[in-house]
Amino acid sequence: MLNNIKQETESNMKRCLKNFENNIMRIRTNRASPYLLDGVSVEYYGKKTSIRQLASIVLEDSHTLKVNVFDSSMVKLIEKAIINSNLSLNPCSEGCFIRVPIPLLTENRRKDLVKVIKNESECSRISIRNIRRDANEKVKIFLKKKIIGTDQERIIQTEIQKMTNVFIKKIDILLSKKEKDLMIL
């Protein structure tokens, strides 16, 4: 039962870390990344559909994405969705594919993006701490029901705290890497 709490806590923390990683991958740097268009969706047969399901997105070079559209009738719709995505991108269609040049970031925009990722990292840290709190409450319930002793409670809470520290450290490492990527000219 205590191992279940630890395993559940660890899997929830991993999920939180993965979510943070996915969120910061969408924030663009000066280099092109296929993840940049992950949040863009298109109306396809009356349903919002991700561009990734309608096309393959590859790097043409370090500053250009190439979107190979599977259905040529969707080229204009995908191009329009990219323009309307608030990513400050100006795609250019050529037959069944779309080129998306990535413009250079201004200094002010870089600083704004750093603020965004710092806020995102703080939200992820809070989520990790909430997961820790929930796990500790489950352990306290076992203590109240006299299923475990105080020594076992302390040991489990110490292990949960160590796990929390590890995941918060991983968030800080991802944050510093992304911050460096954003500030490189």
Q: How far apart are CA 178 and CA 181, in angstroms?
A: 5
pLDDT value of residue 29: 65
User: Residue ranges of the domains in the chain?
Assistant: 2-25+106-183, 34-101
The domain over range 34-101 is classified in CATH as 3.40.50.2300: no
pLDDT value of residue 30: 65
pLDDT at 104 over 80: no
pTM for this prediction: 0.71
pLDDT value of residue 112: 81
43, 77 in Cβ contact below 8 A?
A: yes
> Mind spelling out the 3-state secondary structure of the chain?
CHHHHHHHHHHHHHHHHHHHHHHHHCCCCCCCCHHHHCCCEEEECCEEEEHHHHEEEEEEECCEEEEEECCHHHHHHHHHHHHCCCCCCCCEEECCEEEEECCCCCHHHHHHHHHHHHHHHHHHHHHHHHHHHHHHHHHHHHHHCCCCCHHHHHHHHHHHHHHHHHHHHHHHHHHHHHHHHHHCC
pLDDT at 85 over 90: no
Q: What superfamily would CATH give domain 2-25+106-183?
A: Ribosome-recycling factor (1.10.132.20)
Local confidence band at 28 (pLDDT 50, 70, 90 cut-offs): low
Q: What is the pLDDT of residues 38-74, one digit of tens each?
A: 778 888 888 888 888 889 989 888 788 899 988 888 8
Range 62-76 burial, b when 16+ CB lie within 10 A, else e: eeebbbebeeeebbe
- The owner of tokens 């704004």 is 112
Q: What is the pLDDT of residues 119-165, one digit of tens each?
A: 999 999 999 999 999 999 999 998 898 888 889 999 999 999 999 99
